[in-house]
C-alpha cells in the first residue's frame, strides 16, 4: 500500500498540544539508547512490553503516527467506493473517470517543483495544513459536481493539494526531528497508515453494502471531515523552524535541476518504484490471466502485504541511517524483486497448490523490497537536500516519479503480461541494473557539494544539520 523519535529543541519551556495530549518541546533520548533506571518499561511484563513495541515513542512521533492513521481511515473509506460514487452519483462514464485521473496526474507532474519551492518559502507545517484544508474542501465539493468539467477541476485540485501536503509533511518531519529519528518515525507512520487504510476499506465496504446514494455521499463527506480535522491537528503540532535564505542575483529557483547527481538518484528511485506497480497492478493481472490460481487469492495477497507492512516496516528501517546504509537497502531491495520476477513467470507454468505458493512467494519478496526501499527513500528525502531547499528537491523527485508513473503501468504490462511470461526476465534485468547502479549513484550524491539555500555555503552530501536541531530564523 501506498503516505515519522525525538523532538527538537525550539525554545526552552515551549509546549504545544496535539489533541488533548501535551507535547513537550525538549530533547529526548536517542533511539535505542538505554532507558533510565526504574522506568516503567523496565517493569513491564513480557506481554505489555510486546504491546509497547507497537507504539511509537510518546510526543511528536506518536502524534504523527496517530494523525497518519486517521487520514488513512478517510482515504481507505473513499477509495473503496470512489469509482461507484463517480459512476452512480455523479453519472460519469469510465472513460471520463479515466480522463480525470490522467489530467490530475499531469497536473501533479507540472506543479510538483513549483509547489515544493513554495513549501520551502512558507514552511512545512503551513504547507501541510493548507494541503489538508484543500483536501477537505475538495471532498466536500464532490457531491456538488454537475458536469464532467467540474469533476476534472476537482481532480486537479485534489492532486495539487495532495502534492502540497505531502511536501509539507516531509519538510516538517525533517525540520522537527533530528536525522537519527526521522526514518524510524516515518516507519511507524507508515505502519499506522496501513492499519488505518485497512479500517477505512472496511468502512467503505459497509457504505457500499447499503447500496444507496445517501451512503455514498456520506462516505465522501466522512473523508472530508477527517481531512478538516487533520488540518486542525497539523496546525497544532509543535512549531518547527523554517530555514530561509535570501536569494542572490545569480541564483534561480530551478537551480536544483543542475544538481545532476541528485537528479540521477531521483531517476534511480523512480525506477525502483516500479515494484509498487508490480505488486498492485501487474501481479494481479498476471494472476487472473496466466495462472490457475483462484480469484479470492488476490484478496489474500493484498492482505498479506498489508500485514507484513504493519508488522515489519519499523524493524525493516534499521540501517537507513546513512547514505551507505540507504544504498545497501536499495541494492538488496532491487535484487529481491529481481528474484521475484522469474518466480512470477514460473507461477504461470505451474498448477494447483504450487501456483499459490509461487504467487505468495512473489508477494513476500516484493513486499520486502517495499519495506527496505521505503526506509532508504525516507533517508534521501529528509537528509540529502539542503535544509532550505527540501521542498524544491522533493518537488523535483516527485516530478520525475510522476512522469515514470505515466509509462510504468503500460510498459510493465506489455513486458510481463503481454509477452506471455518471458518479459518477466526483462523486468528482472531492470532491477538487477538498479542494484548495480545503487552504490555508484549514491556515492556520487555523497561526494557532490551542494549549497544550503542560496547563500553559497557549500556542504557535501547530506545537509549539515543532520544530527542536530535546526535553528529558527527570523521570518
Q: Given this model, what pLDDT does residue 258 score? A: 85
Cα–Cα distance measured from residue 62 to residue 57, given in angstroms and rounded to the nearest whole number: 6
C-alpha cell at 308: 507484513
In the chain, list all ranges with CATH 1.20.1250.20.
Answer: 60-235, 255-460
At the fourth CATH level, which superfamily is domain 255-460? Answer: MFS general substrate transporter like domains (1.20.1250.20)
Say how far apart CA 127 and CA 135 lie, in whole Å.
12
Rounded to a whole number, what is the distance in angstroms from the first to the last CA of the chain? 38
By three-state DSSP, how is residue 7 classified? coil
Contact residues for 415 (Cβ-Cβ < 8 A; gap 6+): 423, 424, 426, 427
Shortest CA distance to 341 belongs to which of 300, 396, 283?
A: 283
The strand pairing partners of 449, in sequence order, are 460
Return the CATH architecture of domain 60-235. Answer: Up-down Bundle (1.20)
The reported pTM is 0.76
DSSP assignment of 63-77 equals HHHHHHHHHHHHHHH
Residue 11 exposure: Cα atoms within 13 Å on the Cβ side: 7
pLDDT value of residue 72 = 93
pLDDT of residue 52: 54
Contact indicator for 204, 80 with CB cutoff of 8 Å: yes
Regions of the chain short of the pLDDT cut 50: 1-47, 49-50, 248-250, 453-475
Radius of gyration from C-alpha coordinates of the chain: 22
Say if residues 339 and 424 touch (Cβ distance below 8 Å): no
pLDDT at residue 247, rounded to an integer: 52
Task: Check residue 327 and give its pLDDT.
Answer: 95
Q: What pLDDT score does 237 carry?
A: 92
Amino acid at each position: 500500500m501506498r503516505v515519522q523519535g525525538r523532538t527538537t529543541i525550539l525554545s526552552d519551556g515551549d509546549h504545544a498540544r496535539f489533541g488533548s495530549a501535551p507535547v513537550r518541546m525538549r530533547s529526548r533520548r536517542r533511539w535505542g539508547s538505554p532507558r533510565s533506571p526504574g522506568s516503567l518499561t523496565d517493569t513491564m511484563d513480557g506481554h505489555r512490553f510486546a504491546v509497547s513495541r507497537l507504539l511509537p515513542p510518546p510526543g511528536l512521533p506518536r502524534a504523527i503516527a496517530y494523525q497518519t492513521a486517521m487520514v488513512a481511515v478517510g482515504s481507505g473509506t473513499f477509495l473503496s467506493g470512489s469509482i461507484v460514487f463517480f459512476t452512480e452519483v455523479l453519472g460519469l462514464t469510465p472513460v471520463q473517470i479515466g480522463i480525470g485521473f490522467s489530467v490530475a496526474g499531469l497536473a501533479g507532474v507540472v506543479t510538483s517543483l513549483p509547489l515544493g519551492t513554495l513549501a520551502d518559502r512558507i514552511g512545512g507545517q503551513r504547507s501541510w495544513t493548507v494541503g489538508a484544508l484543500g483536501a477537505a474542501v475538495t471532498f466536500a465539493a464532490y457531491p456538488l459536481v454537475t458536469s464532467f468539467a467540474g469533476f476534472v477541476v476537482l481532480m486537479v485540485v485534489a492532486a495539487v493539494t495532495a502534492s502540497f501536503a505531502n511536501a509539507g509533511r516531509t519538510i516538517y518531519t525533517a525540520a522537527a526531528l533530528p536525522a537519527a529519528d526521522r526514518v524510524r518515525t516515518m516507519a511507524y507512520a507508515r505502519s499506522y497508515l496501513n492499519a488505518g487504510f485497512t479500517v477505512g476499506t472496511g468502512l467503505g465496504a459497509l457504505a457500499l453494502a447499503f447500496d444507496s446514494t445517501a451512503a455514498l455521499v456520506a462516505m465522501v463527506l466522512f473523508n472530508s471531515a477527517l481531512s478538516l480535522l487533520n488540518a486542525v491537528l497539523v496546525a497544532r503540532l509543535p512549531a518547527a523552524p523554517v530555514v530561509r535564505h535570501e536569494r542572490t542575483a545569480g541564483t534561480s529557483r530551478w537551480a536544483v535541476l543542475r544538481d545532476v547527481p541528485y537528479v540521477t538518484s531521483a531517476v534511480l528511485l523512480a525506477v525502483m518504484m516500479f515494484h509498487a506497480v508490480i505488486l498492485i497492478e501487474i501481479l494481479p493481472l498476471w494472476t487472473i490471466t496466466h495462472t490457475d490460481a483462484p480469484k479470492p487469492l488476490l484478496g489474500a495477497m493484498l492482505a498479506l502485504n498489508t500485514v507484513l507492512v504493519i508488522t515489519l516496516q519499523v524493524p525493516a528501517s534499521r540501517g537507513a541511517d546513512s547514505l551507505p546504509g540507504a544504498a545497501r537497502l536499495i541494492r538488496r531491495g532491487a535484487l529481491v524483486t529481481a528474484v521475484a520476477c522469474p518466480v512470477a513467470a514460473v507461477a504461470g507454468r505451474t498448477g494447483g497448490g504450487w501456483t499459490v505458493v509461487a504467487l505468495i512467494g512473489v508477494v513476500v519478496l516484493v513486499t520486502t523490497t517495499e519495506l527496505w526501499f521505503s526506509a532508504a527513500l525516507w533517508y534521501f528525502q529528509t537528509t540529502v537536500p539542503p535544509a532550505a531547499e527540501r521542498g524544491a528537491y522533493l518537488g523535483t523527485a516527485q516530478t520525475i516519479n510522476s512522469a515514470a508513473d505515466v509509462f510504468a503501468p503500460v510498459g510493465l504490462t506489455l513486458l510481463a503480461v503481454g509477452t506471455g511470461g518471458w518479459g518477466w526476465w526483462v523486468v528482472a534485468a531492470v532491477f538487477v541494473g538498479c542494484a548495480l547502479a545503487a552504490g555508484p549513484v549514491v556515492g556520487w550524491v555523497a561526494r557532490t557539494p551542494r549549497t544550503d539555500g542560496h547563500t553559497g555555503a557549500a556542504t557535501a552530501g547530506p545537509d549539515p544539520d543532520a544530527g542536530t536541531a535546526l535553528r529558527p530564523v527570523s521570518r
